[in-house]
Amino acid sequence: MSIYTDVLDFQGGKRRGKPWYRDQVRALLTPLDRLPAVGDVVFYTYSAATAEKLKFWDRFPMTLITDVNLSEDKFEGGNLHYLRPTVRVSVGAMIKAGGMSYPRRCHHKYFLSAAGSMYLVPKEELDSIGKLPLEQFTTSVMGRNIDMPSSHVWSRL
């Protein structure tokens, strides 16, 4: 079994919203009890510290960590959610096989202090977990955060 098939079994054929999928995945993943390290794939909550400067951001990234800089309170890597699910699955399969590359459009920098509730995603799950709707893209309009459809973001990258 995999996280993906377990979540589909829990779904029972009923329509569910993104929060439900995120809750199921978090329940099946192991909480990260240390700082993220290069090579980890983590699923976490994120509150964009520079929201007013961003067109949009993902409040629930799933990121392959490529750099951690503790002195600057930052980490960076490829947030797989910036890829359409079909591309996400193929990139996930490559990471599962030991690769560390991803399309440049999903590379982002994050503040460690703005990230919370991190969970380690096993690499053997990356070729299937990417099918689940876990992302939530948000934009800031006049100081107010508004959720936006994923398809809107994917069509602009």
Tokens at 1, concatenated: 């079994």
What is the crossing angle of helices 3-11 and 18-28, to 10°? 130
Looking at the predicted structure, is the pLDDT value of residue 30 above 90? Answer: yes
Whether the Cβ atoms of residue 68 and residue 51 lie closer than 8 Å to each other: no
Residue 115 bridge partners (DSSP): 46
How sure is the predictor about 157, in pLDDT bands with cuts at 50, 70 and 90? confident
Q: Report the pLDDT value the prediction gives residue 51, as an integer from 0 to 100.
A: 63
**Could you tell me if residue 131 is left (phi over 0), alpha (psi between -120 and 50 degrees) or otherwise beta?**
alpha
Looking at the predicted structure, is the pLDDT value of residue 38 above 90? Answer: yes
Which residues, in sequence order, are CB contacts of 13 under 8 Å at separation 6+?
A: none
Looking at the predicted structure, is the pLDDT value of residue 49 above 80? Answer: no
**Domain count along the chain:** 1
Name the average pLDDT for the chain. 94
81-107 b/e (C-beta count within 10 Å ≥ 16 → b): bbbebebbbebbeebbeeeeebeeebe
Tens digit of each residue's pLDDT (9 = 90 or more) over 90-142: 999 999 999 999 999 999 999 999 999 999 999 999 999 999 999 999 998 88
Q: Report the pLDDT value the prediction gives residue 57, as an integer from 0 to 100.
A: 93
For residues 24-49, give the mean pLDDT.
96
pTM here is 0.94
Q: Report the pLDDT value the prediction gives residue 48, as an integer from 0 to 100.
A: 86
For residues 7-32, give the mean pLDDT.
96
Q: Domain of 109?
A: 3-154
Share of the chain above pLDDT 90, in %: 89
Give how far the C-alpha of residue 126 lies from the chain's centroid of Cα atoms, to the nearest Å. Answer: 11
Give the span between the Cα atoms of 30 and 122, in whole angstroms: 9
Tokens at 115, concatenated: 């990230």
